[in-house]
Amino acid sequence: MTATTDRHGRLVAARTPPGSLQPSAAESSQRWARIARSAGVVLLAAIPLVMFALFFFYPVGSLIGRGLTAAGTADTGGVIDVLGKPRIQRIAVFTLWQAAASAALAVLLGLPGAYLLYRCSFRGRAAVRALVTVPFVLPTVVVALAFRTLFAADGVLGSWGWDGSVAAILTAHVFLNYAVVVRTVGATWAHLDTRPAEAARSLGAGPVRAFLTITLPSLLPAIAAAFVMVFLFCATSFGIMLIMGGSRYGTLETEIYRQTAQLGDLQAAAVLSILQILLVTGVLVVAAVLRRRGEATLRLRAASDAARPLRRADLPAVVVTGFVAVLLIVPMAVLVIRSLRTPDGWGLGNYRALGGTGQGNALLVPVTTALGYSLGTALAAAALSVGVGVLLSVVLARRPRRRVARRAVGSLDALVMLPLGVSAVTVGFGFLIALDAPPLDLRSSPLLIPIAQAMVTTPLVVRMVLPVLRAADDRLRQAAAVLGAGPIRVWVSVDLPIMSRALAGASAFAFAVALGEFGATTFVARPDTPTLPVVIGRLIARPGTVNTGMALAAAVVLAALCAAAVFLVDAAAGGRRGEPGIGGF
């Protein structure tokens, strides 16, 4: 018998020549191997679980606990009190309907885009796909500032009177989430079998009827998934709402911020947090049910033979997508142009001012210092979330035979997705009140911000890496194992190469999201160690044209950094072939 154990103490290979061992001994060694392997998986899962427990459930739980108990006893009357307030009810309703409206708009505008960019082939398609993706990786602070500048009374579209309106907020939400729809639906559409629609055509259905009766039903699961994703993003929208909604409009998220940071009403914040968690969980459950129902009926095929050149009938799709492209370009162009306008005429004055602390010393440190701090923080957060995300993905990609283990994997999956829907503000404020006293005093630790950001980005990493691992043909792993590779070797030689592209994309995306993270960082960042989005938020809040100019310049720098990070990695990982890895979760 040749049995070797790797450094995790797992049995790597146990080849038993027939007859050389008693059956009972072979059985027991097999059992030990299985136990060792299970222990390895549990160990892999333990690291992320501990992290989530310490830095997500503990802070969020502390906040909620502190809000729901008065003087050590449960305070249910207070909960009903908070929920009974007309303002809270109004905000809850507004949160829901603006999210639904944003998602519906994004889907309506995104469908023609998905068709054009994934179903048709034309020159410059790769460039248009890239352009469409940019807004999704832009920090919400940047987008909010761009739209505020666009719709401001003295802005390019000031005459529309959209400043601070719901229409402006919806437009910004569509701007941010258009790519989610185009990519989610497009990825399915590109692989959709065209022949059912062709069969319908040959049976006498016109193009519109064939689309409505055959193609659309096949796309519905993808459309529903995109809708849910956009709905969640918009329902938990913070940066956009805070900067564009003013005092008139707010989501539960901005209200949690207002109650904690401005009014100090922890109880109201806790109730709102719970309300939001319930809402998000509800939406996710409905989405999961819909997905399970839809998946069985999809017919997919290789994407290459489905794309075809543009025809005249594609004109409406071209017009709609062109309109959206303008919507995507104009705000950013306006932002860049306005950042070049200083009180003394056109120039780079605003960018030079980034070396200072602003008009009336609005900031404690120069913006350039904050920039350096931002980059370091985002890098650490990206590294952390990719490490944890890969561990989680490896565990979640397993399809155990035993029912209990399958259940455990399923619950873990739901658990790590929770931060996606739990308010970043809640996480940030939870950090502030839970991690500033023993046993865990991280208040002055430079790791506090990266950890907070990693809590936000880890679910995104898992959502990008996991599908790739799950989609990998299990027979590849079996082939490697049959050829003599142990579990670690199989992972390094099969799984790692398969997910390398998604991993590169996920790293860049995590970096970009961490760089632009606003909700949690606002709380955690101390005044002397702010990140760029926090600085921008502070500059907007202060009066003075110099401060506004600096905010615009800083926003341009931040946007450029986010876009560059994503594009460099995408290009390095060979973005030309197949799907770029960004936003495909």
Partner 1 sequence: MLEVCGVAVNYGAVVAVDGVDLTVPDGEVIALLGPSGCGKSTLLRAVAGLEPVAAGRICWDGANLAAVPVHRRGFGLMFQDGVLFPHRDVAGNIAYGLRFTGLGRDQAEHRVAELLELVGLEGYGPRRVITLSGGEAQRVALARALAPRPRLLLLDEPLAALDRSLRERLLADLKSVLTTTATTALFVTHDQGEAFAVADRVAVMRSGSIRQQGTPREVWTEPADEWVARFVGYTSVHTAIGDSDPPGARLALRPAALVADPEGVVHGRVVMVAPAPDGVTLTVQTDTWGVVQAVGGADFRAGVGEQVRLRFDPAGAARIPA
Phi, psi (deg, nearest 5) at residue 346 = -75, 145
Nearer Cβ to partner 1 (33/307): 307
362 vs 569: CA distance, rounded Å: 35
Give 210 or 452: the residue with its C-beta nearer to partner 1.
210
Site map (CB under 8 A) of partner 1, residues 355-384, x = contact: ------------------------------
* Interface pick for partner 1 out of 25, 199, 414, 496 (rule CB under 8 A): 199
Closest CA to 211 of 315, 107, 115: 115
- Number of residues lying near partner 1 (CB under 8 A): 22
Stretch that binds partner 1, among 14-22, 50-58, 201-209, 478-486 (CB under 8 A): 201-209
Please tell me whether residue 299 binds partner 1 under the rule CB under 8 A. Answer: yes
How many angstroms separate the CA atoms of 374 and 321, rounded? 35
HEC string for 292-348: HHHHCCCCECCCCCCCEECCHHHHHHHHHHHHHHHHHHHHHHHHHHHHCEECCEECC
Q: Does 202 bind partner 1 (CB under 8 A)?
A: yes
Q: How far is the CB of 301 from partner 1 (least distance, A)?
A: 11
The residue (of 299 and 443) whose beta carbon lies closer to partner 1 is 299
Find all residues with CB under 8 Å of 208, minimum gap 6, and list them. Answer: none
Interface with partner 1 (CB under 8 A), residue from 205, 261, 405, 472? 205
Q: Give the per-residue contact string, 506-545, with partner 1 (x = CB under 8 A; - = no).
A: ----------------------------------------
CB 117 within 8 A of CB 129: yes
Measured from the CB of residue 115, what is the shortest distance to partner 1 in angstroms? 18
Among 201, 291, 398, 542, binds partner 1 (CB under 8 A): 201
Q: Do the Cβ atoms of 63 and 439 come closer than 8 Å?
A: no
Is 203 a binding residue for partner 1 by CB under 8 A? The answer is: yes
- Complex with partner 1: residue 211 or 491, whichever CB lies closer: 211
Is 297 one of the binding residues for partner 1 (CB under 8 A)?
yes
Residue 299 vs 352, nearer CB to partner 1:
299
Rule CB under 8 A: say whether 200 interacts with partner 1: yes
Min. distance of Cβ 122 from partner 1 in angstroms?
13
Q: Are 140 and 518 in contact (CB under 8 A)?
A: yes
Scanning residues 214 to 243, which ones bind partner 1 (CB under 8 A)? 214, 217-218
298 phi, psi to nearest 5 deg: -85, 135
Residue with tokens 């805070």: 242
Structure token digits, residue 556: 């341009």
Q: How far is the CB of 399 from partner 1 (least distance, A)?
A: 22
Cβ–Cβ < 8 Å for 298, 218: yes
Query: Is 206 among the residues that bind partner 1 (CB under 8 A)?
Result: yes
Read out DSSP for 349-361? HHHHGGGS--TTS
Report which secondary-structure segment, H or E, holds 169: helix 166-191
Task: Give me the DSSP letters along 515-530.
Answer: HH--HHHHHHS-TTS-
Q: Which is nearer to partner 1, 289 or 329 (CB)?
A: 289
Comparison of 122 and 160: residue with beta carbon closer to partner 1: 122
Is residue 195 involved in binding partner 1 (CB under 8 A)? Answer: yes
Residues making contact with partner 1 (CB under 8 A): 193, 195-196, 198-207, 210, 213-214, 217-218, 296-299
